[in-house]
Amino acid sequence: MPTWSQGCDPNYSPCVPIASDVDCAGGSGNGPAYVEGPVTVNGSDIYGLDRDGDGVACE
Residue pLDDT, tens place only, 4-54: 458 999 999 999 999 999 999 998 889 999 999 999 999 999 999 999 999
- What are the E-state strand segments in the chain? 12-13, 22-24, 33-35, 39-41, 56-57
Neighbours of 56 (CB within 10 A): 14
pLDDT of residue 3: 42
Q: Are 58 and 39 in contact (CB under 8 A)?
A: yes
pTM for this model (two decimals): 0.83
pLDDT of residue 6: 81
